[in-house]
Amino acid sequence: MARPWYLCHSESLSGALPQIVQEYERVILFRLGHLLPGRAKGPGLFFFLPCLDTYHKVDLRLQTLEIPFHEVVTKDMFIMEIDAICYYRIENASLLLSSLARVSKALQSLVQNTMKRLLAHRSLTEILLDRKSIAQDAKVALDSVTCTWGIKVERTEIKDVRLPAGLQHSLAVEAEAQRQARVRVSQP
């Protein structure tokens, strides 16, 4: 990062300092607060002017974001809690830095709202049986929004579904009644 102005010497203003960018990183340069034109720098060596330039390194590797449990209301009016995980990658570092301040917070809110919206149109049974298609629908919906931020959503998954205790009890009673009915039918 650039040094504060009071640490600048007259000889440092005339010379550019070299920095190294790893294969999986890109650097965005700002000169006097303005984004320098052109694409992100890297991988390899780049030069910046101390006291005039600041730079931000952006990691292009696959990132994971765990979405904590949040309540969802299904189409058949069941309330449950789900948690999810989102895998994403930064595709356009310049666009990301100029359009979004807190990536993880924005992405977390977007995933939670998208899941709530998608699951509101499905019944409890569909959610429990068809997680893969729900995850694919969520990925497509998320990617359509995050592409304007310079982010590519690679995958989303629903990790766990928590049902309320009363609902779990009634489902267990119903399953037991079905087992008892099958036993009675199979016995002569």
Would 173 be classed as within a structural domain? no
CATH code assigned at 146: 3.30.479.30
Asked if 74 and 109 sit in the same domain, the reply is: yes
Do 100 and 158 lie in one domain? The reply is yes
pLDDT averaged per 10 residues, the chain (length 188)? 47 69 93 89 91 92 96 91 95 91 94 95 90 94 95 94 77 77 72
| Structure confidence by residue, pLDDT tens digits, 76-86 | 888 899 999 99
- The reported pLDDT for the residue numbered 188 is 62
pLDDT at 38: 84
- pLDDT at position 11 is 42
Task: Please indicate, yes or no, whether residues 72 and 29 belong to a single structural domain of this protein.
Answer: no
- Reported as a single tens digit per residue, the pLDDT across 47-82 is 989 889 999 999 999 999 999 999 999 998 888 999
Q: Do residue 23 and residue 78 come from a single domain?
A: no
Please list the residues that pair with 155 across neighbouring strands: 87
Same domain? 75 vs 107: yes
188 occurs within a structural domain = no
Measured between alpha carbons, how far is 166 from 176 in angstroms, rounded to an integer? Answer: 15
The answer as to whether 183 is a domain residue is: no
Q: What is the pLDDT of residue 168?
A: 67
Q: What distances in angstroms separate CA 17 from CA 32, 43, 51, 155, one per listed residue?
A: 16, 16, 11, 39
pLDDT score of 136: 95
Q: What own/partner pairs with CB < 8 Å and gap ≥ 24 does 129-135 have?
A: 131/157, 131/158, 134/158
Residue 149 CA to residue 92 CA, distance in Å, equals 8
**Whether 112 and 36 share a structural domain:** no
Same-domain check for residues 47 and 112: no
pTM above 0.85, yes or no: no
73 and 46 co-located in one domain: no
Identify the pLDDT of residue 125: 87
CB atoms inside a 10 Å sphere around CB 88: 24
One domain for residues 24 and 83: no
Tell me, what's the pLDDT at 135? 93
Domain that holds residue 27: 5-59
The pLDDT value recorded for residue 112 is 96
- The tally of domains found in the chain comes to 2
